[in-house]
């Protein structure tokens, strides 16, 4: 569908949460741009304010509620001007994403100045929803039935307004059937469903043609890709797996990288590891959240592996690749977690030499099983004291992992620069996702260069240009 490019309104969108939300935002902006809404970075100047929310922890949800509170005050000020007969702006406020999907109509009751609530399954209805709020209606659209990717045809007609970056997010599956006892995602993103390989390949080709240097395949359990598709109907009789999809994407012409997140440990097959090895464009980087280092806690979390099984997967990967990075997520203070069980998480970081871990204190979420185990809740002080120790352990692990890189030559995709003491310091990422800083020319941004690593800090590496041609 041709874009009218006639902008008469401005939209500001604040995106919280994971890459899936970032990707949804790009699609939302694409649809809105077709209807005359131009993106602005200045919220005060916007006609439409949208918060794309995350519900993974109470803190993330609270952030969204307080932002909408601020926007509500702006709206009241404008309303006051209107009543006084002064010029005023007709601001509309919309609430979308995972908190919207979870709270539904309750949001309209709680925030009288919110005009629109739309859930994760209703993005494709946006043109109609915007039309309705612009006639003064207050609307809540939060379908419970998860949208199939094919229902998103309406959405597919519009261009994606990708963020200014070298990386293009490409969702390949959405939803989750795992129901880990702490997690809200199956309730906010629905059951697992996958997008057809042909659609994904077309989107990837388009992104590469537009100049993106990296594509990141997204899914709550990205390595479970294909389970809802039919190999004969959807994939010329080949197994619909992430491994085969990577092989197909790797054949697209051009110099670019392929990444995928997030992997569920036991869905990493031998074939997937082989595919990463075979495909020169696929980066040697695995984000495999372990959540706890203790097998009893893992069982209570309803994770489908124990400590030893997680270790075996990590070993297979480390035996296959030389400079691979393996990262994880951990939760501190899960209901009933003893000090000893927590120490198993601390030791897992060392034993499996995890390169980096996201950490969080357990946060009870409505509808989830563990939220009902109130008699086993860990008190806040203990939880946050454990989190602090976990963060310190992670910091040490990152430094150790970075120090091992010294002396190596990494291929870096140059992403940005900073001026420091009259020098241009470039920043980019290695195939294993490590951030590397080095001196160089600004026009290397968007290029691949080989950099020799000369030093390591906790959160990044330092290096010097070895050659501007790629080694791969
Ligand atoms: N699908 C991925 C994780 C997605 S959620 C997986 O299965 O590993 C992202 C991360 O948020 C999780 O890995 C977990 O560490 C954290 N998280 C989820 N629910 C949480 C909760 N209730 N409290 C604290 N952290 C939570
Ligand atoms: Fe949440 Fe578990 Fe699904 Fe990951 S696998 S999204 S942690 S329920
Ligand atoms: Fe948050 Fe929803 Fe992503 S809960 S982590 S934005 S899937």
Q: State the average pLDDT over residues 40-65.
A: 97
Instruction: Write the residue with the smallest CA distance to atom 5 of ligand 3.
Output: 18
Give 343-377 pLDDT, tens digit per residue. 999 999 999 999 999 999 999 999 999 999 999 99
- In this structure, the strands spanning 409-420 and 448-456 are antiparallel
Question: Among 60, 183, 310, which residue has the most ligand 2 atoms within 8 Å of its CB, making it the best to mutate?
Answer: 183
* pLDDT tops 80 at residue 163: yes
Specify the pTM.
0.95
Percent of the chain with pLDDT over 70: 95
The size of the chain, in residues, is 472
- The residue among 1 and 62 whose pLDDT is bigger is 62
Q: Which atom of ligand 1 is nearest to the CA of 364?
A: 22
* pLDDT tops 50 at residue 385: yes
- How many angstroms separate the alpha carbon of residue 99 from the centre of ligand 2? 16
- How many angstroms separate the alpha carbon of residue 471 from the centre of ligand 2? 37
55 Cβ below 6 A of ligand 3? yes
Percent of the chain with pLDDT over 90: 91
Give 178-233 pLDDT, tens digit per residue. 999 999 999 999 999 999 999 999 999 999 999 999 999 999 999 999 999 999 99
Q: Which atom of ligand 3 is nearest to the CA of 99?
A: 4
Instruction: Write the residue with the smallest CA distance to atom 10 of ligand 1.
Output: 329
- pLDDT reported for residue 150: 58
Which ligand gives the minimal distance to the CA of 365?
1
Q: Dmax of the chain from CA atoms?
A: 73
Q: Which atom of ligand 1 is nearest to the CA of 330?
A: 15
Instruction: Write the residue with the smallest CA distance to atom 1 of ligand 3.
Output: 54
Where does residue 11 rank: exposed (0-12), middle (13-18), buried (19+ CB within 10 A)? buried
178 Cβ below 6 A of ligand 2? yes
- How many angstroms separate the alpha carbon of residue 363 from the centre of ligand 1? 10
Q: Which atom of ligand 3 is nearest to the CA of 60?
A: 1
* pLDDT tops 60 at residue 105: yes
What's the whole-number average pLDDT of the chain? Answer: 94
Give 235-250 pLDDT, tens digit per residue. 999 999 999 999 999 9
- pLDDT reported for residue 2: 43
Tokens in use for 129?
Answer: 């929803």
334 Cβ below 6 A of ligand 1? no
- How many angstroms separate the alpha carbon of residue 156 from the centre of ligand 2? 27
- pLDDT reported for residue 130: 94
Instruction: Write the residue with the smallest CA distance to atom 7 of ligand 1.
Output: 264
Contacts 24+ apart (CB under 8 A), 305-313: 305/265, 305/266, 307/344, 307/348, 309/265, 309/266, 310/265, 310/348, 310/352, 311/351, 311/352, 313/265, 313/266, 313/268, 313/288
Give 117-144 pLDDT, tens digit per residue. 999 989 888 989 999 999 999 999 998 8
Question: Among 56, 58, 121, 262, which residue has the most ligand 3 atoms within 8 Å of its CB, making it the best to mutate?
Answer: 56
265 Cβ below 6 A of ligand 1? no
DSSP characters over 172-210:
-EE--S---TT--HHHHH-S-EE--HHHHHHHHHHHHHT
Q: Give Cα 7 to chain centroid, integer Å.
A: 29
Question: Among 21, 55, 56, which residue has the most ligand 1 atoms within 8 Å of its CB, making it the best to mutate?
Answer: 56
- How many angstroms separate the alpha carbon of residue 360 from the centre of ligand 1? 8
List 463's β-bridge partners, or say none.
438, 453
367 Cβ below 6 A of ligand 2? no
Q: Which atom of ligand 1 is nearest to the CA of 363?
A: 23
Q: Which atom of ligand 1 is nearest to the CA of 178?
A: 7
Q: Which atom of ligand 1 is nearest to the CA of 371?
A: 22
Is residue 150 within 8 Å of 172, Cβ to Cβ? no
Which among 297, 303, 214 has a CA at the least distance from the CA of 252? 214
Give 417-469 pLDDT, tens digit per residue. 999 999 999 999 999 999 999 999 999 999 999 999 999 999 999 999 997 65
- pLDDT reported for residue 245: 98
- pLDDT reported for residue 124: 85
* pLDDT tops 70 at residue 471: no
Question: Among 18, 185, 358, which residue has the most ligand 2 atoms within 8 Å of its CB, making it the best to mutate?
Answer: 185
Distance CA 318, CA 325 (A): 9
Q: Give Cα 80 to chain centroid, integer Å.
A: 39
């Amino acid at each position: 569908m041709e874009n009218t490019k006639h902008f008469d309104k401005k939209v500001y969108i604040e995106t919280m949460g994971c890459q899936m939300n970032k990707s949804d935002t790009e699609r939302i902006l694409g649809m809105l741009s077709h209807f005359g809404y131009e993106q602005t970075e200045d919220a005060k100047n916007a006609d439409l304010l949208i918060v794309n929310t995350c519900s993974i922890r109470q803190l993330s949800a609270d952030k969204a509620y307080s932002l909408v509170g601020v926007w509500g005050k702006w709206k009241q000020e404008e309303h006051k001007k209107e009543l006084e007969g002064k010029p005023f702006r007709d601001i509309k406020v919309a609430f979308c994403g995972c908190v919207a999907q979870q709270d539904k109509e309750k949001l309209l009751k709680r925030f009288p100045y919110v005009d629109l609530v739309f859930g994760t399954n209703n993005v494709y209805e946006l043109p109609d929803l915007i039309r309705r709020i612009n006639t003064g209606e207050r609307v809540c659209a939060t379908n419970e039935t998860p949208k199939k990717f094919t229902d998103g045809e309406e959405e597919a007609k519009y261009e994606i307004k990708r963020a200014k970056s070298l990386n293009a997010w490409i969702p390949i599956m959405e939803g989750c059937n795992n129901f880990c006892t702490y997690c809200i995602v199956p309730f906010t993103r629905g059951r697992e469903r996958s997008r057809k390989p042909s659609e994904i390949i077309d989107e990837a080709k388009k992104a590469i043609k537009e100049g993106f240097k990296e594509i990141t395949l997204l899914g709550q359990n990205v390595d479970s890709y294909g389970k809802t598709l039919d190999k004969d109907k959807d994939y010329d009789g080949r197994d619909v797996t992430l491994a085969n999809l990577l092989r197909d994407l790797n054949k697209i012409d051009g110099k670019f990288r392929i990444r995928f997140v997030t992997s569920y440990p036991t869905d990493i097959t031998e074939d997937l590891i082989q595919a990463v090895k075979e495909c020169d464009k696929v980066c040697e980087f695995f984000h495999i959240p372990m959540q706890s280092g203790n097998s009893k806690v893992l069982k209570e979390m309803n994770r489908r592996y124990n400590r030893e099984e997680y270790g075996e997967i990590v070993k297979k990967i480390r035996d296959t690749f030389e400079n691979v990075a393996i990262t994880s997520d951990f939760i501190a203070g899960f209901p009933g977690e003893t000090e000893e069980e927590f120490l198993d998480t601390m030791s897992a970081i060392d034993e499996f030499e995890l390169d980096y871990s996201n950490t969080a204190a357990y946060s009870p979420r409505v509808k989830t099983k563990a939220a009902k185990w109130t008699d086993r809740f860990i008190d806040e002080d203990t939880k946050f004291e454990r989190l602090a120790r976990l963060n310190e352990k992670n910091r040490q692990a990152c430094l150790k992992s970075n120090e091992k890189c010294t002396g190596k030559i990494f291929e870096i995709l140059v992403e940005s620069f900073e001026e420091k003491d009259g020098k241009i310091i470039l920043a980019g990422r290695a195939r294993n996702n490590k951030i590397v800083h080095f001196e160089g020319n600004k026009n290397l941004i968007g290029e691949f260069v080989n950099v020799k690593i000369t030093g390591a800090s906790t959160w990044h590496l330092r290096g010097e240009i070895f050659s501007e041609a790629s080694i791969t």
